[in-house]
Structure 1
Amino acid sequence: MLCRTLCALAVTVLAALTAIPVAAQNLFEPVILVNEQAVTRYELQQRARMLTLFRAPGDPNRLAREQLIEERIKLDAARISGIVLDDDAVRAGMEEFAGRANMSGEQFVQALAGEGVSESTFREFVRAGITWREVTRARFASRVSVSDSDLERATLALTGGSSVRVLLSEIILPVNSLEDAEEKQALAAGIAESTSESEFAAAARRHSAAPSAAQGGRMNWVQLSDLPPGLRQVILTLGPGEVSDPLPIDGALALFYLRDIEETSVATPEYSAIEYAAYYIPGGRSAQALQRAAQVRAQVDVCDDLYGVALGQPPEVLERGSKAPEEIPADIAAELARLDPGESSANITRANGQTLVFLMLCGRSPKLDGEQPTVEDLSNFIRNQRIESFANSYLEQLRAEARIVEK
């Protein structure tokens, strides 16, 4: 009797002892081999969990698998090239990524940990991205050249030495939270691969928060010199039919499709300051708020008229000032570029879409002795855009050559 009891107890204990290691072993066993580099079940689960928190579009499990395979390929290329990041570079990358959600790196890590995602999962995600950037710079920087004609055309356009106007389409993707940030980044990256105006227009109608969405994002002709300085440089790297990389603006990501560009020898002025007024209307883009904006538009001809509109209301409902072009928020600067003095728009919101901005251009002050952008800065910008194009082709080649075994 005692023997049977002990034997039964031994079997029970043995089963309990063996069950735990098997579970742990299954969790950390390789499920994919990429050029002999393992991807474990744990990594897949963690990445899928992180992508779910980021609300990345599509199946998070499939996307996690694709990302981890691609990252192993990138890291293998880095190993062959002898490129290894130090911890400081990775930490800086984590801080930069967290900053997109208006968090510090520590706050971002804590937020992920609260949802079951380890710091190492986030760290390796960032490490792979930065490492790949270093690989592509090392491999392609020497192959990329920027000609004198490239620089001359860009410099003339940026400084008003020639008149350049562009025909753009736009997509504005609002980013409202940490979870929203990665989803919109993934969506924007997909849109940036658009190969035709019709494809970009379809994405604009489906996803864009800009008033131009109903027109497929189509904007009217705009002088390049009226665009924000950073956006000018981006547009100058595009050819007709190309899409910009996603551009971070206040609370959103923006993409631009270049439909056409025209250049003449007639110079357009540069401005040292732009004066504008913003009247804030509660309700966002609700019918009531838009009706109020229409009422205001009918009451004003110049910016001074807005003081009468705001009379008796809290001072913060009306802001008016003069700023250098580079100091103006990108979305407001882009909107002002469409306006002449005395014209207004109600296309922008604040407070996560809860406040409608009635924006009015008061005037522009010409720049008399404007500073030219440095040749080095402009050359580096154009060069980086071309390196990225090489990098995408290189990754496709590496993926085709990789030995990928899924278990």
Structure 2
Amino acid sequence: MWEISKMNLNRLTRSIAVLGLGLMTAAPVSAQNLFAPVAKVNESVVTEFEVQQRQRFLEVLNAPGATREGALTSLIDERLRNEAVAEAGIELTPQGIEDSLAEFASRADLSTEEFTQALGQSGVSRETFRDFVVNSVGWRELVRARYASRVQITDAEINRALGETQGSGVRVLVSEIIIPAPPQQAARVNALAEQISQSKSTAEFSNYASRYSATASRGRGGRLPWQNLTDLPPSLQPLILNLAPGEVTDPLPIPNAVALFQLRDIEETSVAAPTYSEIEYAAYYIPGGRTEPALAQAAQIRDRIDTCDDLYGIAKGQPAEVLERVKKAPSDIPQDVAIELSKLDTGEVSTTLTRANGQTLMLLMMCGRTAAANASASREDVTNALRQERLTGYAEQLLEQLRADARIVRK
């Protein structure tokens, strides 16, 4: 689930007038078609009106997925989340809803009423805004209730994340295993991952990697070269640093897969490793998942591109959603994507990841990294960031399971 950045919200008052004019002059749609069903999720219907409203809402906020297909997918996922929240017996109070609306609007330095009026000028109803916020808050409460007890952040992790090895850098030798775990195989894969996490030697872990891992490193027994600790995803750094050489992390849930990492060696260097404020990457989506035709197509594309800009030519004439280009802070990048990006230099490509329950292959390309200015972070900020990263992984895995179990029909 995406989050709206403060920068995007601050652009709301500038962009809304322009976008509103464009929407006001758009070709009219027959009123009788507005409430026609465009999708059915179990027993719940998604209407044409809702899709148009969600797409406008995303456009106004300059949010990812501001296409018709992106809006429809967002609403389908919302129905699944709503069902899970209702089954868990989670209900928001009227005051809680108002407080959540006010908090969201405040990110654009507006009151709820001002924010609602601004949306209305672009044809977005208060109900669309309310439904989006209520769903987001309810889902967050469900994820916290179900998984918070599994997320324990130690002082050692916080200290490591804060970089208390001042004036020096840390490099690590890590081995990886990423096992595809489509929902129908999740139980079997989770059991296998628990077994792998008990590995007693690097040889044993490498044997598992050669047999089960879906990454390019499987041919090397999962062994990765020396990496700066700061190149790893923020949520993974303290987990690696808490290991002794030879030890393995607990299984980490990521979309459609489970990841494990073994520390082989660690060293402190005299030069501080760089940290990054933003990472830019591109994802090109290929139907077929990890089938031979899809992987062959990915290989052909990889041979034709040198930079992320080249992907625009590959995607020309195709629906907008086949290519996504993103610039985010490291802590905001989905964990599975962050893990793959940590292994890539600018212009390099990974084809390890999938989406849509393994039915879509993601060709992931590193566009570039922006070095961070020296900045300080509080222990509370670091704790919250580490906790949120882990909860996000659980939330993504739960949503994938809900999609697999649901009856979803697109009209």
| 2:282 aligned with 1:277 | yes
Judged with a 3 Å threshold, the aligned counterparts in structure 2 of structure 1 residues 208 and 301 are, in CA distance, closer, same or farther, namely: closer
Judged with a 3 Å threshold, the aligned counterparts in structure 2 of structure 1 residues 306 and 107 are, in CA distance, closer, same or farther, namely: same
Which SS does the other structure have where 1:266 is aligned? coil
Contact 1:157/1:164 (<8 A) preserved: no
Which SS does the other structure have where 2:262 is aligned? strand
**Distance across 2 between alignment mates of 1:190 and 1:356:** 27
Judged with a 3 Å threshold, the aligned counterparts in structure 2 of structure 1 residues 376 and 323 are, in CA distance, closer, same or farther, namely: closer
Q: 1:249 aligns with which of 235, 251, 254?
A: 254
Q: How does 1:325-340 map to 2 (within 5 A)?
A: 325-340=330-345
Q: How does 1:5-404 map to 2 (within 5 A)?
A: 104=84, 155-156=162-163, 161-177=167-183, 180-372=185-377, 374=379
Instruction: Specify every segment of 5 or more residues in structure 1 that has no aligned partner in the other structure, as ranges.
Output: 1-100, 110-128, 138-144, 382-407
Q: Greater Rg, structure 1 or structure 2?
A: 1
Judged with a 3 Å threshold, the aligned counterparts in structure 2 of structure 1 residues 256 and 321 are, in CA distance, closer, same or farther, namely: same
Deviation per CA, 1:3-58, whole angstroms, max 9, x where unpaired?
A: xxxxxxxxxxxxxxxxxxxxxxxxxxxxxxxxxxxxxxxxxxxxxxxxxxxxxxxx
1:165 aligned partner, one-letter code: R
Deviation at 1:373, TM superposition (A): 5.5
1:155 aligned partner, one-letter code: L
Which SS does the other structure have where 1:295 is aligned? helix
Deviation at 1:166, TM superposition (A): 1.2
Which SS does the other structure have where 1:229 is aligned? coil
Judged with a 3 Å threshold, the aligned counterparts in structure 2 of structure 1 residues 171 and 373 are, in CA distance, closer, same or farther, namely: farther
With normalisation by structure 1, the TM-score equals 0.54
**Distance across 2 between alignment mates of 1:157 and 1:222:** 19
Judged with a 3 Å threshold, the aligned counterparts in structure 2 of structure 1 residues 168 and 304 are, in CA distance, closer, same or farther, namely: same
Deviation per CA, 1:176-230, whole angstroms, max 9, x where unpaired?
A: 22x5333333222221111111111222223323332333222222221011110
Identity %: 52
Deviation per CA, 1:340-396, whole angstroms, max 9, x where unpaired?
A: 222222222222222222211111111114343518966xx9xxxxxxxxxxxxxxx
Which SS does the other structure have where 1:262 is aligned? strand
Deviation at 1:151, TM superposition (A): 7.1
Instruction: Specify every segment of 5 or more residues in structure 2 that has no aligned partner in the other structure, as ranges.
Output: 1-79, 90-145, 387-411
Which SS does the other structure have where 1:230 is aligned? coil
Judged with a 3 Å threshold, the aligned counterparts in structure 2 of structure 1 residues 373 and 207 are, in CA distance, closer, same or farther, namely: farther
2:247 aligned partner, one-letter code: E
Q: Greater CA deviation, 359-368 or 208-217?
A: 208-217
1:156 aligned partner, one-letter code: G
Contact 2:200/2:247 (<8 A) preserved: yes
Q: CA RMSD in A?
A: 3.6
1:176 aligned partner, one-letter code: P
**Distance across 1 between alignment mates of 2:338 and 2:292:** 25
With normalisation by structure 2, the TM-score equals 0.53
How many residue pairs are counted as aligned between the two chains? 249
Judged with a 3 Å threshold, the aligned counterparts in structure 2 of structure 1 residues 253 and 108 are, in CA distance, closer, same or farther, namely: farther
Contact 1:188/1:255 (<8 A) preserved: yes
